[in-house]
């Protein structure tokens, strides 16, 4: 089936042949995509076209709101009252007639072409004397719903966008998610609600905060319809890119949905569905995208609203905004008494472990895990996406977990589950078959420990980072150079006292050194200068003391991550003191939230939990392989020199 869609998309794309020479290759998609949408909308409306025109003629001067009547006549959520179509715009006045055709769509469909900036491209096609020819080519393509379904049409759009992005050297993967990954995410999100979704006349809401072409939402709608044709999933979305937004709107119009729920704008800086809460959230935000363009707005929201806003838990580094999207989705959760929410989001590996204890990323993970919202994470194979080969993960979150999952997190390693593509599409060389998706969903549903499924307490991912100090040990002596250095240093004091020890023996105790020089109490600046100028590191010297307290050697400072379940002092006595008996814990370093010693950090080190030791090959085997390679090289050299 996918090949049919690809062939159709290739056929549509071949219209680009007539554009060559007059347009850059990177511009082809900006012409082909809106024409494809226009032809699809035309085909959808064709069966009721005459009835709509007749109704319009009788109503146009009545003062009655056309939007109240004509969608019913059109049997769609949109309509068109122009007498033109793609095959009747004519060879003369083509542009004027096409513009009449487009402007006489209902406003919800007309905006699609405004976001494509289509009028500008029509003018350019007219200037190149290509407008009529291109129009006729699209008029000949059959995109009627009884020939190509909405689902198949969505795949055609995605294939065209991928080809368009490749020709523009752009990143197609920003705009849509491979359908196999979508199917896995929706299956995992909907799985525990299977019974609820099988009720009579069920209505649920689903939201995508980085919707692209709307494929994630469309796939979710299709899946629920498979399970229960009487259930209804109402889509909500926001998308940043005007052209992919236009396709998303067109797609939902054709499916019969109210497109007022589909918003254009930057989700992070301007949430256009701020008061809405949803049953399900699904998203594949762009991997590793910088958020510096919206940094001011995001920081202002965090500062002014805290946890009452979206970003109270913390902010990730500006180089990767993935966790901002995750926090945004969590802000859309319904209260538990209203049924709660389930969330599926596709992320790269960095949100699992980037940022040490106390960092924004760690604090976001801490918030999610301490609230017990993380249900499961599935590690996917490499090479599943069109524009990147990196490892990816599906996070499943819920604020109404099943009783058996309370306080627990399931990790599933599906990195070895995949099928090879017959022909790669960009970076996508693998896909998940329906059976493989079902196998992963079964692992999730079983909720048992296996080689590929591990179950942890939420606290297992947490640790306290304690600061381990060791004493500063210096041997002291006064030389001409060190005295000059002290004399010229900031805050030097009692220079002559130190000069009295010039050329004398060294001291391995700072208090004995000061006593010998008959130095009175030094200021902080002078003490620092004296240590720097007269002291030299010596592991056999006595610890340097200041007012009876040992000073720490910053170069020997280390950090230990103590599992939250363990007492830090027991851990320190068992793991640290046997190796460095003079060490101590800096108890001034405390966690800001609970005030206890050690800064709390959370990370999910997936590889550690599924690591399997592979013993190295024997030396005999390696040696034999090296000799075989040497022989091969020698034979090749002999051929060259013979």
Q: Across the strands, what pairs with 294? A: none
* Reported pTM: 0.84
Composition of the chain by helix, strand, coil, percent to 5: 45, 15, 35
Q: What is the pLDDT of residue 330?
A: 97
Helix (H) or strand (E) segment spanning residue 558: strand 558-563
Q: How confident is the model at residue 173 (pLDDT cuts 50, 70, 90)?
A: very low
Q: What is the pLDDT of residue 176?
A: 64
| DSSP-H helix ranges across 545-618 | 568-575, 606-610
Instruction: Give the closest residue to 151 by CA, choosing from 203, 211, 217.
Output: 217
Across the chain, mean pLDDT equals 90
pLDDT in tens, 106-122: 999 999 999 999 999 99
Instruction: Give the closest residue to 9 by CA, choosing from 138, 155, 131, 112.
Output: 155
Helical packing angle, 215-227 and 242-254, nearest 10°: 20
Name 443's Cβ contacts closer than 8 Å, sequence gap at least 6: 412, 414, 450, 452, 453
Q: How confident is the model at residue 156 (pLDDT cuts 50, 70, 90)?
A: confident
Q: How far is CA 321 from CA 324, 416, 432, 448, in A?
A: 5, 28, 27, 33
Q: What is the pLDDT of residue 196?
A: 67
Q: Across the strands, what pairs with 208? A: 237
Average confidence (pLDDT) over 177-199: 84
pLDDT in tens, 462-508: 999 999 999 999 999 999 999 999 999 887 888 989 999 998 889 99
Q: Would you call 403 helix, strand, or coil by DSSP?
A: helix
Average confidence (pLDDT) over 15-31: 87
Name 190's Cβ contacts closer than 8 Å, sequence gap at least 6: 197, 220, 223, 224, 227, 280, 342
497-531 burial, b for 16+ CB within 10 Å, e for fewer?
ebeebeeeebbebbeebbebbebeebeeebbebbb
Residue 563: both structure tokens together: 């599992």
Q: How far is CA 462 from CA 317, 401, 465, in A?
A: 20, 20, 10
Q: What is the pLDDT of residue 166?
A: 64
Average confidence (pLDDT) over 338-362: 93
Residue-wise DSSP of 271-337: -TTTT--BSEEEE-PPTT---GGGHHHHHHHHHHHGGGSS-TT----TT--HHHHHHHHHTTBPPGG
Q: Which of 19-33, 384-398, 413-427, 532-546 has the highest mean pLDDT?
A: 532-546
Query: Among 91-100, 195-204, 312-321, 617-626, whose mean pLDDT is lowest?
Result: 195-204
Q: What is the pLDDT of residue 304?
A: 96
Distance CA 639, CA 641 (A): 6
Helix (H) or strand (E) segment spanning residue 95: helix 94-103
Q: What is the pLDDT of residue 476?
A: 96
Instruction: Give the closest residue to 173 by CA, choosing from 323, 401, 383, 435.
Output: 383
Average confidence (pLDDT) over 282-306: 93
Q: What is the pLDDT of residue 2?
A: 42
């Amino acid at each position: 089936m996918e090949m049919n869609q690809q062939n159709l998309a290739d056929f549509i794309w071949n219209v680009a042949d007539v554009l060559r020479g007059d347009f850059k290759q990177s511009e082809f998609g900006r012409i082909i995509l809106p024409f494809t949408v226009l032809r699809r909308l035309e085909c959808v409306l064709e069966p009721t076209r005459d009835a709509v025109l007749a109704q319009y003629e009788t109503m146009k001067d009545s003062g009655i709101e056309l939007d109240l009547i004509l969608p019913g006549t059109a049997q769609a959520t949109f309509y068109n009252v122009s007498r033109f179509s793609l095959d009747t715009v004519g060879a003369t006045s083509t542009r004027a007639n096409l513009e009449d055709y487009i402007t006489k769509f209902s406003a919800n469909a007309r905006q699609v072409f405004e976001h494509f900036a289509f009028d500008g491209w029509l003018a350019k096609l007219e200037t190149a004397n290509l407008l009529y020819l291109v129009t006729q080519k699209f008029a000949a393509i059959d995109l009627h719903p009884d020939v190509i379904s909405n689902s198949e049409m969505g795949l055609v759009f995605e294939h065209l966008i991928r080809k368009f992005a490749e020709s523009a050297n752009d990143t197609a993967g920003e705009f849509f998610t491979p359908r196999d990954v979508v199917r896995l995410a929706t299956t995992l999100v909907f799985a525990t609600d299977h019974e609820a979704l099988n009720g009579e006349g069920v209505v649920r809401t689903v939201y995508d905060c980085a919707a692209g072409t709307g494929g994630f939402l469309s796939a979710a709608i299709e899946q629920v319809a498979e399970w229960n044709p009487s259930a209804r999933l109402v889509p909500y979305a926001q998308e940043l890119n005007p052209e992919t937004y236009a396709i998303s709107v067109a797609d939902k119009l054709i499916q019969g949905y109210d497109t007022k729920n589909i918003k254009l704008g930057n989700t992070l800086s301007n949430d256009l569905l701020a008061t809405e809460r949803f049953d399900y959230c699904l998203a594949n935000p762009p991997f590793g995208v910088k958020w510096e363009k919206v940094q001011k707005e995001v920081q202002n929201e965090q500062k002014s609203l805290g946890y009452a806003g979206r970003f109270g838990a913390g902010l990730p580094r500006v180089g990767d905004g993935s966790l901002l999207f995750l926090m945004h989705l969590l802000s859309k959760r319904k209260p538990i008494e209203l049924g709660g929410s389930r969330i599926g989001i596709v992320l790269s590996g960095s949100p699992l472990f980037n940022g040490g204890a106390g960092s924004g990323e760690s604090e976001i993970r801490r918030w999610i895990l301490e609230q017990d919202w993380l249900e499961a994470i599935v590690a996917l194979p490499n090479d599943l996406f069109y524009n990147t080969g990196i490892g990816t993960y599906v996070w499943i979150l819920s604020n109404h977990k099943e009783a058996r999952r309370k306080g627990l997190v399931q990790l599933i390693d599906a990195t070895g589950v995949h099928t090879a593509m017959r022909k790669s599409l960009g970076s996508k060389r693998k896909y998940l078959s329906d059976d493989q998706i079902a196998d992963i969903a079964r692992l999730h549903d079983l909720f048992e420990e296996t080689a590929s499924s591990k179950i942890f307490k939420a606290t297992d991912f947490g640790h306290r980072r304690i600061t381990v100090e060791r004493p500063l040990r210096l041997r002291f002596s006064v030389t001409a150079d060190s005295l000059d250095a002290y004399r010229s240093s900031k805050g030097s004091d009692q220079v002559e006292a130190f000069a009295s020890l010039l050329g004398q023996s060294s001291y391995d105790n700072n208090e004995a050194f000061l006593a010998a020089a008959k130095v009175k109490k030094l200021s902080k600046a002078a003490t620092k200068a004296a240590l720097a100028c007269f002291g030299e590191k010596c592991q056999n010297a006595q610890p340097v003391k200041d007012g009876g307290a040992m000073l720490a050697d910053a170069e020997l400072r280390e950090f230990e991550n103590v599992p939250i379940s363990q007492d830090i002092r027991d851990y320190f006595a068992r793991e640290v003191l046997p190796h460095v008996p003079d060490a101590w814990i800096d108890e001034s370093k405390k966690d800001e939230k609970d005030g206890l010693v050690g800064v709390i950090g959370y990370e999910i080190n997936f590889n550690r939990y599924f690591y399997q030791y592979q013993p190295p090959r024997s030396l005999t085997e390696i040696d034999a392989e090296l000799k075989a390679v040497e022989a091969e090289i020698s034979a090749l050299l002999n051929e060259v020199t013979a």
